[in-house]
Chain A
C-alpha cells in the first residue's frame, strides 16, 4: 500500500494552488510517501501532557504605540506588480458576468 494515495496528492495540490503535471504527481506520490515514512517515527514518542513549542523564544503581546507613520508610496508598492491599472493591482476576472 502506498503511504500516500494519488487522490491525496491531487487534493493537496489543489489546496496549495499548484498545477502539477502527471509526471510530478507520480514523483511526489513516491517521494512524499518516503518522507512521510521517515516522519512517522514521531509517533513513537510519548508526548502525553507535553506542551507544543511553536516558537523557541517565548515573546507574547509585542506592542508599540499606535501612531500614524508615512507608508510606502503607491508607485513604489506597485513597481513589482506583474500587471497594474490606474494605481491598482490588475488580476484576471474573479466574478462571473
Chain B
C-alpha cells in the first residue's frame, strides 16, 4: 500500500524497523499534496523545508534510539487557527493574512518536542465560524469524495487532507462540532476531548468555554495516539485540568461486551436524513452483535442546545474578537483620520460576513436590556442540558447518535441561509455545552457515495471507554479502510 494511505501506528512500525525514513515519508506526502491538493484545496501553507529538516532530526533520533515516542518522525498537519512560531497563522481571515506568531501553541510545542514534523497549515471557516469551510477568505476546500460537495467545517481542511491522504494526521478545533462534523462528511475519525483536557494556549480563541483542540485521523487508534501526544496539564491555560491524563490506548482492544450504550431519542428523529438514520441503526445492530446493551434514553433539553449555543458562542466570540482592532497585530485599514474610524473600518474590511454576523449577534445578546433574556437564559439552559447528560450517564457508559443530520451538501446550498447552516451542528453542540468528550467514526456511505458518521459521547474524562467503543465498532464494521476514489494528477 502507498505510504499516504497508512495510519500513523503502521508507519511507526516501518520507521522503527528502518523500512522507511521520516524524510522519505515526508517527501512522499509532499508529492501526494502536489498530486491531489490542486483539486482538493486543503492547504493554506506547506512547510516543505522546515518539515524536511524536522524529519531529518527525527531520523537521527530513531537511528540513535534517543527519545523515540509514538509520533517521532510522523508528519502532522494543523488547522490554521493553531499558532506556529515563524509560520503564518491566518484563521483563514484577511484580518490575520500576514500574522506570524511569535510563539508555538502548547500542542505544537509538544508535537515538536516529540519529533513530529509539522507538514503545513490547513484551510478552515474564517475564525472557525461555519460548517462548510465556505467562509474561508482564501479558498474553497472540496470534499475528496465528491468535488462538488463541501468538506464540512469549520475544520474542513484537516478533514479533507486526512481523507485524501495529504497528511498522516491532523489537529482541528471543535467549538460546536467543527472537528466531528467535517470528519463525518469526509469519512475520517474526528475527536473532541473533554473540556480542559488539551491546552488552548496558542489556539486563536473563538468561544473560550467551548473550544477544544482534538485529533483528526484515519482510524481510532491514531486518534488515541495523537490525543496522548497533546493532552497534558498546561499552566499557560487557566482552564487546563490539573494532574495526569488517562492512558487513552489502554482499553482499545477490550471490546464493548458489558457496556450499556444509550440511544437519545431526541437525536435520531426529526431533521435526520433517512439514509443517515438507517446507517446509524445498522451501527447500533453491530454494537449489539458485539455484546453491548443498547437502550433508548431521553435528553429532553437537547432540543434547545442549538439556540443556547448560538447565544453563548457568539457572545464569547464578540468579546474574544474585540482584540482585532488594527493596533497590535493583523490588518489595519487606511482610513485612519481618527482612532474610532480606524477601528470600525479595520474590522469592517478585515472580517468576512459570517464573522460580522456572529459578532453582531453576540454583541446584541450581551448588550444592556438583553443580557438576562438571552445570555443568562442560555447559560441556565446549558445547566439543564448538562444535567440531562449526567442523568443519562447514570444508566449508560456511552451515548450514540448520528454526527451530522445529513451527508455532505453542495457548495452554496446553505451559504445564504445561516439558520439552515447552523442546523448542521445540531447533534454536535450538546457535547460542547456539557464539556464532555465525543468522537465521530465512519459508519457507511449514502447512495450517492458520501460518507456517514456515527457519534459516541462519554462522560467527562471517560476518553478510554470512548476510544474502546469506537475502536470495537470500527474493527467490526470495517469502514476505516474506506478511501475516496480520487483522480491523481
Contacts and interface: CB of A to CB of B under 8 A. Distances in A.
**A and B part of one assembly:** yes
B238 interface: yes
A17 B381 contact: no
10 contacts: A18-B344, A19-B345, A28-B360, A34-B419, A38-B310, A42-B378, A42-B381, A45-B384, A52-B383, A92-B342
Interface stretch (B170-178, B283-291, B300-308, B406-414): B300-308
Given A55-B209, A93-B339, A41 B304 contact: yes
Nearest to A45: B381
Given A32-B361, A94-B339, A53 B382 contact: yes
A79 interface: yes
Q: Which of B361, B434, B460 has the most CB atoms of chain A within a 10 A radius of its CB?
A: B361
Contact of B384 (A40, A47, A80): A47
Contacts of A16: 318, 347, 359-360, 363
A49 B330 CA distance: 44
Nearest to B324: A17
Contact of A79 (B102, B361, B378): B102
A47 B380 contact: yes
Given A35-B361, A42-B311, A81-B329, A55 B239 contact: yes
B326 interface: yes
Nearest to A93: B338
Contacts of B357: 28, 31-32
Given A17-B347, A45-B377, A47-B380, 16 more contacts: A35-B419, A42-B308, A47-B381, A50-B383, A52-B376, A55-B195, A55-B209, A56-B209, A72-B102, A79-B100, A80-B98, A80-B99, A80-B329, A81-B327, A82-B326, A91-B339
B395 interface: no
B238 to A, nearest CB: 5
A53 B238 CA distance: 17
B235 A64 contact: yes
Interface residues of A, number: 53
Contacts of B194: 57
Contacts of A26: none
Interface in A52-81: 52-57, 59, 62, 64, 72, 76-77, 79-81
B367 A15 contact: yes
Interface string B416-428: 0011001000000
B340 A51 contact: no
A43 B373 CA distance: 8
B327 A91 contact: yes
B329 A32 contact: no
B348 interface: yes
Contacts of A44: 304
Contact of A18 (B308, B330, B347): B347
B367 A53 contact: no
Contacts of A15: 363, 367
Contact of A53 (B102, B306, B336, B383): B383
